[in-house]
Chain A
Amino acid sequence: MDPLADLDMTRRGLLMGTAATVALTVGSLPMPARAATGEPAPQPVASPVTATVSFTVNGTAHDLALDTRTTLLDALREHLHLTGPKKGCDHGQCGACTVIVDGRRINSCLSLAVMHQGDRITTIEGLGTPDKLHPMQAAFVKHDGYQCGYCTPGQICSAVAVLKEIEDGIPSHATADLTARPRLTADELRERMSGNICRCGAYSNIVDAITEVAGREA
């Protein structure tokens, strides 16, 4: 049996209603035994269900055998030791785990790893290195678009993807005219970046950094 075919089919549904779906997934794990037996004390499940998944991260192919409950974020951080994507909330509330999958940014904590068969994943480590910074990384350094640094990889991955979204003509809540190309304004950037919380409050500098990169790219 190929469990991934089914998982792949459910991916769109999960992406549309991620929070509720994950809550159900997590909450339901120990529960079936309890419901089936009707006993007051829940019984543990026998052993973790595992599945294999293959995807590419930063250009390198990986084949993983994972507990199916493993999020993409934990697969990256705990199995591949790519700890650039951060776990800030594990509930899709903060954006620290943002990575780029097939060109679109996602909260990797809200996505199960086994849903990503065949996907091309880019993490912050794939954008640049300390010796060879991506222009967005360099702009964050120049404009001091970070402080503690914990939300920073997510901010930068989001920022790179945001510029692509605008370039692709994808509108946002702040886009006044849905039939025209979205403009590269501070309001557009702020709206699109609002899923990435920075408690240190570097927002003003982050917008400066993105604007500079956008100007350079334009």
Chain B
Amino acid sequence: MKFDTPATTNPIDQLKVVGVSTSRIDGPLKTTGTAPYAYERHDVVPNQAYGYVVGAGIGKGRIASLSVAAAKAAPGVLAVVTADNAGKLGKGRLNIAKLLGGPEIDHYHQAVALVVAESFEQARAAAQLIRVEYERGEGRFDLAQAKAAMGDAADAKKEDSNVGDFAAAFAAAPVKLDETYRTPDQSHAMMEPHATVAAWEGDRLTVWTSNQMVDWTTGDLARTLGMPKEKVRLISPFVGGGFGGKLFLRADTLLAALGARAAGRPVKVALQRPLMMNNTTHRPATIQRIRIGATADGRITAIAHESWSGNLPDGKPENAVDQTRLLYAGANRLTGNRLAVLDLPEGNAMRAPGEAPGLMALEIAMDEMAERLGLDPVEFRIRNDTQVDPEKPERPFSKRQLVECLRVGAERFGWDKRNPRPGATRDGDWLVGIGMAAAFRNNLLTKSAARVRLDTRGVVTVETDMTDIGTGSYTIIAQTAAEMMGVGLDRVVVRLGDSSFPVSAGSGGQWGANNATAGVYAACVKLREAVAQRLGVNSADAQFADGQVRSGNRSVPLAQAAGGGELSAEDAIEYGDLGKRYQQSTFGGHFVEVAVDAATGETRVRRMLAVCAAGRILNPLSARSQVIGAMTMGVGAALMEELAVDTRSGFFVNHDLAGYEVPVHADIPHQEVIFLDETDPISSPMKAKGVGELGLCGVGAAVANAVYNATGVRVRDYPVTLDKLLDRLPPLA
């Protein structure tokens, strides 16, 4: 189905099932420990052996010698895979560094060997017997140093976006800001480690794994192994968290496949937790310079946002400036993402790549600018709203309710009670403050296919390679099919995450919900036509409701359409140029209250509210969970999360869940989420967008702004830890 004109009224608008808060259909499995994750697939193939990964001990250089003899002779060991014996390997289209290193080492904890043994304990013990001698190379590990070496990058470069005359307008602005902000490297730290069971049957390979993008990863596994994609099957029905860290083929999958080939039997591999943060991808650190010039009454006339990040050769920059091209008005604009080569582990997408770190900086800058203007931070943002793409004014937003989000949020949160004077509100030993930030994340459209079957019992089965990474895909897909076919949720079966199913959008970039359900919508439209044809009714006026198909005075049970044999329909949603003609984005406002211990500088988050405008909310229950989860990750980004870089040896030092701190129960208060009533007919027939990343965008700045309001200490270097506050806190009374 081609979607190239805005949606009109369609069966989804009935909202009998879609749009209704619905408990997850996979909930009973997940809460009883019976949902099968990758490493737990004892059921799929017998005789599984265990793999244990050895990671490189240097950040950059070469393996001089690698001795596996002792490991191979260890009890229970079946095989040891290294680059020496793995055969010729290609590289995935979406991988930057090789997944099996040697002799060259591209980054710390790059896999250099896999030990396969009868038991996990034997594989682990044997892995300790592998001896690797390295020739340490010269690596570049320090972003600040790399940025300095790039010279004066303040001059606009050709990859920059440049509208009007920023330099002149900024120079002429009566009120201006020029500040630099830093965000650290961050880790996805999903709870389920990357894990795979691999089994060969002749030249065919099956992997049961944990991956967000089934089709990408199937292709990259085939490409890396130099085999036809058709001979690889990838199965990923439950994913224990991803956040972008499982978008791609990773070492667990490749090594399980290689280990299974070497051992001649199925092998399962889970990346050990202490390997994950250096072995896999991370969100790269940024240094961001922001300049804003405004008139005395708070109209932005000039805005520039430049970001520096690092990555391995051939890697991409963190697109931290991209939201600044669209979020606020202003005639003169300059933005640029600058990339330095660093030999740290591969930087790549983590939840809301670009916007998450970008808004952490921009939304502090807006807070600072509002203060310089003597304007309320909410009012300053409202004053600079735009309903069109500021770089291309002929291009409107499809729907933009940022102002409404901010107004509703301010009212619900009690923003009017905020003391604009920082450091002036006390509650016993605590300095109390509130802060806010705008939230912005684009709505991405991408082709998504599904197959829908109707059996003789009237059960509708949906099959698509879409994944559910905690987002609630199973449930919203079931809701979509139930609404379209006029049946209850109990008559719908959803099967996901299998490369033998039609290719979906997959889970990433908050594009999953809208695109995947739109693909199911398309397949259901086709199935409705097949049903109508089978029943001899006109599909245009056939009503699908309550398990019946009605046409005129005739009403026939839906199941009867399959009486002569199961019906099956497959289709995809494909998009025309609506995404080009309209700017499609999601919007929100985050409001946070913090208390900072007046003596120790310890920050506690007391209240949080998000107001989101993100098209139709397909399942308010799970959408709310997406947003509160993102708000939680935002608190982590604001207050604690930082991969500490050892700039001499080139690795992330705190590479486990004890050293890399993420929020725990005690860090998170009760959270409130409001969804504005909205549909966006330009987005898809579902009129939906995504919320999973929007919920994170801006949270960090809202917390930092609240800390400023509480203490009067402006921290521009995340995370906002107490050591950065301590010597600048107001004097103790």
What residues make up the interface of A, taking CB atoms closer than 8 Å to B? 26-27, 29-30, 41-48, 67, 69-70, 74, 77-78, 81-91, 93-94, 96, 123-125, 127-131, 133, 137-138, 140-142, 144, 146-153, 156, 174, 186, 189-191, 193-207
Nearest-neighbour CB distance to chain A for B622, whole angstroms, equals 6
Whole-angstrom CA separation of A156 from B29 in the bound complex: 13
- Known A81-B42, A91-B273, A150-B37; 13 more pairs at CB < 8 Å: A45-B75, A48-B119, A88-B193, A91-B658, A140-B27, A144-B625, A148-B192, A148-B240, A190-B665, A191-B665, A195-B664, A200-B191, A200-B241
Q: What is B's interface to A at a CB cutoff of 8 Å?
A: 23-24, 26-37, 39-40, 42, 67, 70-71, 73-76, 119-122, 124-126, 128-129, 131, 188-193, 238-243, 270, 272-274, 469-472, 621-622, 624-626, 628-633, 656-658, 662-666, 668-671
CB of B359, distance to nearest CB on chain A (Å)? 18
Question: What does DSSP make chain B's interface, helix, strand, loop or mixed?
Answer: loop
Among candidates A44, A127, A142, A148, residue contacting B190 with C-beta atoms closer than 8 Å: A148
Residue in B31, B192, B193 whose CB lies within 8 Å of A146: B31
Q: Are A45 and B125 in contact (CB under 8 A)?
A: yes
Contact B239 A42 (CB under 8 A): no
Q: Given A89-B273, A91-B658, A96-B191, is A204 in contact with B671 using a C-beta cutoff of 8 Å?
A: yes
The answer on a CB contact under 8 Å between B192 and A86 is yes
Cα distance A86–B663 in the bound complex, in angstroms: 19
In the complex the two chains form, is B665's CB within 8 Å of A44's CB?
Answer: no
Q: How many A-B residue pairs have CB under 8 A?
A: 231
Q: Residue of B at shortest CB range from A77?
A: B40
Are the CB atoms of B470 and A147 closer together than 8 Å? yes
Whether A69 and B657, one on each chain, are in contact in the complex, defined by CB atoms closer than 8 angstroms, is no
The answer to whether B670 touches A199 (Cβ under 8 A) is no
Tell me if A91 and B657 are in contact (CB < 8 A). yes
Could you tell me if A194 and B665 are in contact, using CB atoms closer than 8 angstroms? yes
| Closest A residue by C-beta to B241 | A148
Q: A47 CA to B664 CA in the complex, in Å? A: 41
Contact of B270 among A85, A87, A138 (CB under 8 A): A87
B657 contacts A94, CB within 8 Å? yes
**CB-defined contacts of B120 to chain A, threshold 8 Å:** 74, 78
Given A125-B33, A204-B669, residue A144 in contact with residue B28 (CB < 8 A): no
Q: With a CB–CB cut-off of 8 A, which chain B residues contact A29?
A: 125, 128
Minimal Cβ-Cβ distance residue in A for B28 = A130
Decide: A26 and B239 in contact? CB cutoff 8 A. no
Chain B residues in 8 Å Cβ range of A147: 241, 470-472, 622, 625-626, 629
- Residue among A48, A91, A191 making CB contact with B75, cutoff 8 Å: A48
- Chain A residues within 8 Å of B630, by CB: 201
Q: Which residues of B contact A142 (CB under 8 A)?
A: 23
Give Cα A213–Cα B633 distance, bound, in whole angstroms.
27
User: Which residue on B lies nearest to A30, using beta carbons?
Assistant: B128
Q: A83-B40, A148-B239, A200-B241 are in contact. Are A42 and B70 (CB under 8 A)?
A: yes
A-B contacts, 13 listed (Cβ < 8 Å): A44-B70, A47-B75, A67-B119, A70-B121, A86-B240, A123-B33, A138-B31, A141-B31, A147-B629, A149-B35, A197-B191, A203-B665, A207-B665
Tell me if B70 and A41 are in contact (CB < 8 A).
Answer: yes
**Most chain A beta carbons < 10 A, residue from B242, B243, B629:** B629
| Residues of chain A within 8 A of B67, CB atoms compared | 41
Q: What distance in Å separates the Cβ of A200 from its nearest Cβ neighbour in chain B?
A: 5
Alpha-carbon separation in the docked complex, A148 to B290 (Å): 36
B131 touches A41 (CB 8 A): yes
Contact across chains for B23 and A44 when beta carbons are under 8 A apart: no
Min CB distance A89 to B, Å, is 4
| Chain A residues within 8 Å of B70, by CB | 41-44
Residues of the A chain whose Cβ atoms lie less than 8 Å from the Cβ of B42 = 81, 83
Q: Are B191 and A94 in contact (CB under 8 A)?
A: yes
Q: How far is the CB of A190 from chain B (nearest CB, A)?
A: 4
Contacts of A205 in B (CB 8 A): 625, 628
Q: A141-B23, A144-B621 are in contact. Are A89 and B656 (CB under 8 A)?
A: yes
Q: Is the CB of A152 within 8 A of B30?
A: yes
Residues of B within 8 A of A124 (CB): 31-33
Cross-chain contact A141 with B33 (CB below 8 angstroms): no
| Residues in A whose Cβ lies below 8 Å from that of B668 | 190, 201, 203-204
A140 to B67, CA, bound (A): 50
Closest residue of A by beta carbon distance from B39: A87
- Residues on the B chain within 8 Å of A125, using CB: 32-34
* Chain A nearest Cβ from B210, distance in angstroms: 9
Chain B residues near A81: list those with CB within 8 A.
42
Cα separation A67 to B121 with both chains bound (whole Å): 8
The 6 closest A-B pairs by CB, nearest first: A84-B33, A201-B632, A150-B240, A148-B470, A147-B470, A149-B30
